Structure 1
Amino acid sequence: MVNGNIDSIQQGQADSNATGQTIMSSLPPEIAHITANYYPLPFILQRLAQKSHNELQLRVEELARMPPGQGAAANGNPSGSGEDSSEENQNKKAFLLNFLNELHAKWTKALVMSEWSRKSGQVSKLVDLHSHILEQLAKYNIVLDRMGHVKRGIYDIRLPNPDIKTALQVLSTGRADWMPGNRFIPPPALKAEEIQKWFGELNTLLSFRLTLHDYDKIPYEFRDFTVKDGRVTFKVQGEFEVDLTIGNDDPESQWWFIDFRFDFSPAPQELTDKVRHFMTMNVNDVLGRQGLKGCYDFLHGYVLTHKIRELQRQAVLLSQQHWINHIKVEPLNRALCIQYWAQRYLGTGPKPEANAGPKSWIIIGVNSGKTPSADSLPSLHPTSYLTIRWFRDGKEVTGDADLSSFGTETISAEDLLNRIICKHVSYILKSISDKLMSKPRYASRQVSVSMKLHKSEPSESILVIQLTHSETLSVKINGVTGNFYLEPTKPLISRREAILNLRGRDAVEDSFGQIEHIRCESLFEELVRLGRAMGWVMCKRPVLPDEAKKLHPSREFYQLLWLRRDTWPSPWYVVVCVSLAGDNWWLVEVVDDGANPAKAAPSTAPNRVASQLPDGRNNKMHNQPNARIKTYKPLTMPVNPKLSTDFFSRLTKMVNVAMCGFKDSPPDYHGVGKPEFGFKPVDNPYLPPGRKMPGMFYKTAAVMRQLPSRDGERTTRPLKTSWAGDYVTMTYREEVEGAQGRPEIIQDVKVKVKDKSMFSLIKKKHVDRDVRYDAQAGQFVMQIQRTMDSSCIPLIATRLKAIDRLVEFVSSMGDRAGGVKCESVTLRKFVFTYGEAGSDASTRDKRWKVTLDLAKHQEIKIHLEAGSPHTRILDMLNKLINSQIGMKALPRCLQATLPLHRVLDSLEATWAVLSENGQGFFEVVPHALDWITVHFELAAVANNKSPRRLRLSVRVRTRNGEAWWEVQRYGREGGQRDELDEVLQPIFTSRITPEGWQGLDTAVVVKVGGGGIEALLSKISAAVKALATGVPATAAAIQLNMASSQAAPIVLD
């Protein structure tokens, strides 16, 4: 089938592919093909053509620059000869021929390469094959070399052939008879008594020999010995112990070595077999040749060498543990060099060795002791000993490197390093302390410097320096690294610590400078941080450095901090000068002497906003070339002050006192008599203790001459009374924030009064929120809030005027006894009551309250109690109180007109019922305080359509120096008598009545100040009312109405 053929064909192809894969998998791996640094031939030919063209062009230009030959004719015409054989022409030809030969050689190589490129496939295979053969040859050589090394190594680990025969005999019988032996006959064992006898005899021989024969031969170091158990033990303290004995009783016989022990630690407790054999051979040899002296010298030298090697071992171990990279150990010829603080003062740049700092190291070696040191006496028994040479910062130290107690009992490289480093740390800290104490600030004990030194632990040595009142700086040095460690850890200290450890080259000088920088920055940081909350900001230096040197004439290092209040209206600064000569505080005024003097002067405009003030963020005077210091005054500040809120408060007060004293300095007085202003000492409880600021005093008359009027000009109106003393005293109190964020100063202004009795009505201590009256001292104390760039005298004059007005009103209250009673007295509000004397709120004639609003200095406003009878004439009362006689006239007017207005209120209430019924109408029209018109309007009768009207004029008239109320009808229509006249006729024609009025036919008069006006108007109203209602008033009703309208007599209190 067709499908079957197709399947068979596919099966055959699959079998052939599998066979091919099997064959390929059995072949070795393909060799590596070398394709590196291969370039295409067209690329090479293109570069060669380009290079040939460029070189040909250069050669042509060079030929053109060559001088022409002698055979060339002028103007370019050829000469008569046929060939130019001049030297120039020959040179040109040779030059061109050489170039062509070089070019021909290059293109010939290119041709050869092109021929080879036709066989590039075969050449590539040849190159790959050659490379593969070389690689295999190299591997063959490497394998042969490794086989040789393995064979050589096997030789050392091979074992000899085992002796099987001997091993079997020994294991079976326990011996081998055929093996050779010593064949010694062992001596008989000694008894204990014999051993003790021999030891006793030997001890005796040793004692005789040491005390008699060898006494002069015993070295001085072997003077400590012990004879026991047939041997003598010589002990050298801190070095070794050696056991020796003798072989016979001959005094000249040799001493023999028995045992050796080290007498220090760390040291081996037992000698190894190798060392014991070495010691036995060499010590016996030395004893045979040099005796005990040679034995000591040999063992002493051996022990010193062993100590050095032990120190080397410990130092190497330290350099691999926690002292890693910080010490370097270098063994020398029987000596040892240890460099400590190896990572300190490392160099930088391409040649770090050139700018690296000095190094410190110690050398431990053996001194022969034959030459005594300069600071010691020569020894009678010189011997060698371990010595230490200390090189501190590259210089050998002789006096401070005495470690005589080292190396006797205990050998410790770490302890040795700690002792040396402790001395180094102590030297650095002492040098820093001495350098600080040499400066005036520290020499005068303005700040404290303390130091604690340790002899064996470097990190325990500490130098404590007082930075500010509340902060100290602890200087420590890490014993391992040699780096400075400064506490407390804060950013500015950590930054200076890093600079000191990374860039320093002289520990004393660099640390001294960094410590002063830390002190300055710490003080400035604390001043700025704590002062910011109190309104103090740091500013850039507004003047050039040379100008700022006025504040510090000393040559010592110094730093300046410029501070100011961000709301100060003028270019004033507080400058803190911190230096080694001492800290100074200055009040500085800076001006700009530019081309425009008007801009250079500080502005004193009262409406200047805070954003225009020169502060730390918006100061136009920063580093101006023409800016200069105009005024600088020292501020008396405590040494090393405690920076706190109270300190800045006191500083603010002190500066404000100084600035106010500068701004408020009065001009020179050229008049005669007593001066109008000046200074005198006054008690000021608001200044810090020990700070004094004289108070300023002004003559009261001079102050009042500067009183501003309504149009802003000065007024010359003097005080109305002579209640005030001759002078006004001003003292500083505090600073507050005023309008638009500007600072304002609060001052206490004191005015003495001449007569205390004039102010007896003032019961409260405070007559205003910023003015109080001290009754005991007899003076007014005003709290004045003023700006620092303006005078406060006009404001004081305004307050004096307000007090003068208050005094005038209080005096008027004192003159009015009985009906007027003072309730409250302040400069902003005056409250009093008026009414009938002896009346109270429970009766019909209550007392009415009047409030005078004195908040506005130029105008007084009256506020009456609700329901007051005088409400209808309130505008007239306001005009009266603001007139020249208002203060005295107002109480008299209120008291005199109270009965009138009270009865008018009563009549209005009575006629309101009639008005609702349409029977009549009542109206009061005030024309003036002493003139009121009363209108009665009655309903018309049947035979007359027009209403009946009655107009009464109530007016004050003067008669024989007395005030009378005059009630008179006016405005009668037609001029004829009517029924209203008939009603009023009995009243107008009556003579003196018990109520106090008197009829004059056409009018009625009654005295002012009593209740007669009430009875009169009530009787007139009753008569008119009866006419309006048609009900005649009975005599009893009229009498009752008149009795109810009687007023109690005025009682003055």
Structure 2
Amino acid sequence: MPQAMTPTEEVAKAPTKPNTTLEIRAPPLPHITMGFVPLSLLINRLVQNSHNKLVELIDSLQGSGQSDGEKKLRIIEHMQETRKQFIKVLVLVTWAKNASAVSEVIDLKVYLDSRQDVFHKVVWNLYEVRRKMSYARVPNPDLDTAVQVLSTGVATNSMTRRYVPPPPLSSTEILKTLSNINTLLALRFSLHSPPPPYFKDYTISSGRATFKVEHEFEVDMSIGDEDPTSQLYLIDFRLAFEPAAGAPFPENLKNEIEGRGNTVLKSKGLEGIHDFLHDFCLTHKINILMRQAHEMLQGRWTENLRIQQIKRTLVIQYWTNRAGEGKSWIEVGVKRGVAGKPSRLGVRWMREGKEVKDVEVPLNIAVLSAEELLKTVIALHTKWILTGIRDRFSPLPLFPPSSMQLNTHPTDSFNSFLKLRLTPSRAIKVLIEPITGRFALQKPGLLASSVEGRINQQPGQIAELLKLKFLVLQEEIESRARSMGWEILKMVVVRKEEFKTFFPPTTRYMTFMRRQGWSKEWVITIGLGDTGECFYVSRIHEAPQQWTVSLNIPIPVNGALDVTYGFLANLEKISASIITLHTITEDLTSRSVQHQLKPSKTADTKLIIPDLYIRFSSLIPRANWGIDALRVTFQSLSDSGACTLTVCGRTAEAMTHLGVVGKDIASADSDVSFHPQTGSYAIRFIVPVGESIIDPLIEKLSRIETLIKFVAVIRRFQLPCLHVSLGRIGFKYSNDAHSTAEVSFGADDNNDTKMRLHLPPRSPHARIKHFLENSLNTSGLEIVVMALTVTLPLLLAFTDLESTPPNQRDDALFILPRNVDWYRVEYRLANVVLDWRLKCRKSVLYWYVQDAAVAGAESERGVRGGEGRRKAEMLKPLWCGEIEGEWEALKIGAAAGVRGVGALVKAVDALVRRPIPGQQQQQPQQA
């Protein structure tokens, strides 16, 4: 079969003509190379693909648990598939031998197709000319009339009658026509063609039906025929959302919509026109948002947005320059309708590289605004970030719920912030700048600025806010502590080993403070960490390179940890009490005294200070006058830093016998108060911080014990108490005005523990005060009181003898006390010495007087020899009972009872001073 020749070959084989004729050559065909792929590349790709699949097959067969039959079946399938591919390549290789001829056929085919397109376009253009010429028909020209008008310039009536316009319609006819159309439309939509659900909202008026789709469009349609099956025609179309509502359409776009709309109405009816206009509105909304987004790039959002449109999806990336986390953007596109609902505009939110599915981004389809949409998404993103920060800090005691306040706004992130209370007087607001996405801290400061910069460099470092709280809190604590007289110890650096031992592992910052007046080894340690503030009383010692901690006592803090001035004042009280109580407990431990710390019973909840209980019998052995418990309570701290401690106890028996005198105890000794009815007592100590009170406490308790013993003695003798205090007791042992005594006991300023006896200047016992004091310190008050009462009549008699006026005395009298129960009376003129001694016979006390010159008396040690002394012969009548009285004659002396000794003294004195014959004349000379 002969092959067809190409135009080039036809020209080449055309019969030759003489040289005089013009030779016409056909132009060369355009050579087509677009879309050609080298055969070598195709073969290489096939070989590589076959090898890869073979390797995959081998790997899958080795690791699978298939049987040999299944493995063979898979190998066969692979080989068959590979064989088909190589057969195709073989066919292509065979055709490639005629590649040049095939290429020419392709060029010819393309050329013929282009010619055919030209023919079709010519036919179409001729058809369009014919269609448009139908509107260009005009009446035949009236040459006669034209000549007349042009020549005369006037048109006659006969001329104008030829162009009679149609009669105008009246208003009634117009209204009737429109009413008929309205009726036809109502019947059609009610009976014949009910509108779809999307077009339920429609009105019929002025010969047209207006269908409304909320927030999308309004379309006017009418009919051109009474037939209910005839086509509806689109008359007008309006957008029903801002900012497009009321904006004029370009004429070409409006004509295009009407033309396509009528075509859709003809073929698909109301459902088709709704879908057509609905898709147009969705696309138009996306384009409007696209245009608004580009306008935002020209304003303040410059360099902070990236806008891209992929088909009918608008992508807006925000916070493009934010460091750290993944990128964030929104996608505005068409979402497919479900459950019979039409498609709609939807927003897909990608937050830091992850799609957010649990939050639906609100999109206002009635008033389109790309900026409002973006601000809403940024506000949601800001809320998510701030909520995450709050949730992260909530479990930490460092940020209780009352110290965090989260305010959010649905559309404006400028009004969204997280307020963190760093200290009682300082707080910051954590904000996120909506355009750039950078963190901002208000109020700005040096510390806040540095933390803000670090967070913006790496937004995940939210822990920098904790560091800011630590730094601000530490700065405020130190500044307030300095203003209150504390010393901030910046040079103290604790070793890491001891730091892990004594402090929580979450501690990040440490502050060491010492109050003026404290010992150098005691400090307050404030630790700041994730778990909050912690306070300790620490005992530190300076080492060659670092400091060592030997003791760390937690300070109990109640309530919110607001380090105000009041809190620091309470902290000083608590720490001072802990240091002092610890020193006391160490002292008690060294003395092997039983003790225990228990919670305080005070009502002040801000000061959690324990009470120290001491076992009384362990502190004061062999003392049974008090109950077996002493309570040491911290009371206050003076302005100078001294601690006031109170030791409370109770006696085993009530001290009601003191009566009203008990009030004098507290007034006389301001450090001790006593309640006689209950036997309770309280001892106050004012000591420096860290000083023990055990030694002064023992001394005070010894005084109380002595007081109790002394009061018991006075009570036993039924003597009235004149004064009672912890160091002194005064009493009256006779009705005589001068028969009072006062005993002082306890250590004085010189640390002298010797008891003293104080007597009034004219006391009858002044002459034996020294002997009474010795008896007081050796035998106790009971012996002294007994001595006072027993010796009182004798001493009063002696006082009466000495009180005789000198002009009435006829002899020199000397009274020498040798002891409490022994007195020597010397009459110098009579040269007589008498001894008055207290004797006991059959448990009865009596005073015995005898002559010192008697042999029995002279032989006693301490009596001056009897040489030169004469016996008291004048007293023999008394010794022998010749003189009777309230006494008993003993031949060598006389004895009288305690109360009747005064009469005996007077009788003896009268006999000794009686004048002697022969001496009356000499007396004046001697005088």
Once the two structures are TM-superposed, the CA of residue 263 in structure 1 deviates from its matched residue by 1.9
Partners in 1 of 2:487 and 2:463 — Cα distance? 27
Aligned residue in 2 for 1:513: 463
Residue 264 of structure 1 is matched in structure 2 by 241
| Secondary structure in 1 matching 2:410 | coil
Corresponding residue for residue 709 of structure 1: none
**Cα deviation, residue 194, structure 1:** 1.0
TM-score (norm 2): 0.58
Instruction: State the match for 1:432 in structure 2.
Output: 389
SS in 1 for 2:589: coil
Question: Secondary structure of 1:504's partner?
Answer: helix
Counterpart AA for 2:847: A
CA offset digits 1:817-863 (Å, max 9, x no partner)? 4xx42222222221212333xxxxxxxx5365444343625234455
Q: Is the 8 A contact 2:794 2:901 kept in 1?
A: no
Residue aligning to 2:379: 422
Cα shift at 1:428: 0.4
AA at the equivalent of 1:887: L
Question: How far apart, in 1, do the equivalents of 2:396 and 2:199 lie?
Answer: 60
Q: How many residues align?
A: 709
- Maintained 8 Å contact 1:337/1:364: yes
Partner of residue 810, structure 1 = 711
Residue 305, structure 1, aligned to residue 287, structure 2:
yes
3-state SS of 1:835 partner: coil
Instruction: Give the 3-state SS of the residue equivalent to 2:594 in structure 1.
Output: strand
Letter in 1 for 2:836: R
1:403 aligns with 2:355: no
Is the deviation greater in 884-893 or in 953-962? 953-962
Residue 583 of structure 2 aligns to a residue whose secondary structure is: helix
Is 1:455 the counterpart of 2:410 in the alignment? yes
Q: Distance in 1 between matches of 2:281 and 2:686?
A: 97
Q: Which residues of 2 match residues 653-664 of structure 1 at below 5 A?
A: 655-656=578-579, 659-660=582-583, 663-664=586-587
For residue 423 of structure 1, report the CA deviation from its aligned partner: 0.8
Measure, in 2, the Cα distance between the counterparts of 1:267 and 1:956: 142
The answer to whether residue 208 in structure 2 is matched with residue 231 in structure 1 is yes
Task: Indicate if the aligned counterparts of 2:522 and 2:539 stay in contact, CA closer than 8 A.
Answer: yes
Structure 2 residue corresponding to 1:200, chosen from 179, 187, 192: 179
Query: Could you tell me the percent identity over the aligned residues?
Result: 20
Q: 1:777 to 1:474 in 2, by over 3 A?
A: farther
- For 2:726, give the aligned amino acid: L
Q: 999-1008 or 449-458, which moves further after superposition? A: 999-1008
Task: Name the residue aligned to 1:590.
Answer: 540
Match of 2:233 among 255, 268, 293: 255
Aligned match for 1:666, one of 589, 595, 600: 589
Give the corresponding residue for 1:156: none
Name the amino acid aligned to 1:852: V
**Alignment match of 1:963 (pick from 819, 839, 847):** 847
Does 1:648 find its partner at 2:571? yes
Q: Distance in 1 between matches of 2:720 and 2:834?
A: 27
1:359-370 alignment, distance < 5 Å: 367=333, 369=334
SS at match of 1:190: coil
What corresponds to 2:10 in structure 1?
Answer: none
State the one-letter code of the partner of 1:858: T
* Cα drift, residue 424 of structure 1: 1.0
Residue identity matched to 2:233: W
SS state of the match for residue 420, structure 1? helix
Map Cα deviations across residues 124-147 of structure 1 (whole Å, 9 max, x no partner): xxxxxxxxxxxxxxxxxxxxxxxx
Deviations 1:988-1014 (A, max 9, x none): 999757798999999999967765489
Give the match for residue 69 of structure 2.
none
Q: Distance in 1 between matches of 2:835 and 2:713?
A: 22
In 2, distance between residues paired with 1:657 and 1:959?
56
What's the offset of the Cα at 1:651? 3.6
1:852 maps to which of 739, 743, 764: 743
The Cα offsets for residues 578-601 of structure 1, whole Å up to 9 and x where unpaired, read as 43356655554434454xxxxxxx
The alignment yields a C-alpha RMSD, in angstroms, of 6.2
Conserved 8 A contact 2:292-2:371: no
Q: How far apart are 1:231 and its partner, in Å?
A: 1.8
1:678 aligns with 2:629: no
- 1:661 is displaced (CA, Å) by 6.7
Question: Which runs of structure 2 are paired with 1:844-883 in the superposition (5 Å)?
Answer: 845-846=736-737, 848-854=739-745, 856=748, 857-865=752-760, 868-870=762-764, 873=767, 876=770, 879-880=773-774, 883=777
Q: What is the identity, as a one-letter code, of the residue corresponding to 1:422?
A: A
Other structure's SS at 2:215 match: coil
Work out whether 1:827 is the aligned partner of 2:721.
no
| Equivalent residue, structure 1, for 2:110 | none
Contact 2:376 2:410 in 1 (8 A): yes
Give the deviation of 1:549 after TM superposition: 3.8
| Counterpart contact for 1:238–1:263, Cα < 8 Å | yes
In 1, are the aligned partners of 2:584 and 2:694 still within 8 Å (CA)? no
Instruction: State the distance in 2 between where 1:951 and 1:683 align.
Output: 80
Structure 2: distance between partners of 1:424 and 1:922: 123
Matched, 1:799 2:700: yes
Shift of 1:238: 0.6
Higher mean alpha-carbon deviation, 534-543 vs 988-997, is at: 988-997
Q: How does 1:26-175 map to 2 (within 5 A)?
A: none
Gaps of at least 5 residues in structure 1 are 1-176, 346-355, 595-624, 669-675, 705-718, 837-844, 937-948, 1025-1053
Counterpart-to-counterpart distance in 2, 1:418 and 1:833? 99
Structure 2 residue identity aligned to 1:305: N
Give the equivalent residue in structure 1 for 2:788: 893
Cα distance in 1, alignment partners of residues 771 and 837 from structure 2 = 21
1:629 pairs with 2:520? no
**Equivalent-residue separation in structure 1 for 2:900 and 2:393 (angstroms):** 92
Q: Within 2, Cα distance between the matches of 1:254 and 1:862? A: 136
Aligned with residue 546 of structure 1, among 484, 493, 496: 496
Say if 1:768 and 1:967 are closer, same or farther in 2 by CA, change over 3 A: farther
Partner of 1:41: none
In structure 2, the CA distance between the partners of 1:861 and 1:729, relative to structure 1 (3 Å rule), is same
SS in 1 for 2:732: strand
Contact 1:703 1:793 in 2 (8 A): no
User: Which residue type is aligned with residue 192 of structure 1?
Assistant: S
Give TM-score, length-normalised by structure 1: 0.52
In 2 relative to 1, CA 553–1011 (structure 1 residues): closer, same or farther, beyond 3 Å?
Answer: closer
Taking a change above 3 Å as real, the CA distance of residues 474 and 551 of structure 1, as seen in their structure-2 partners, is: farther
Structure 2 CA distance for partners of 1:262 and 1:308, relative to 1, 3 Å: farther
Query: Are the aligned partners of 1:996 and 1:1007 in contact in 2 as well (CA < 8 Å)?
Result: no
CA distance in 1, matches of 2:402, 2:631: 39
Question: Which one-letter code corresponds to 1:893 in the other structure?
Answer: L
Q: Aligned partners of 2:297 and 2:572: how far apart in 1?
A: 63
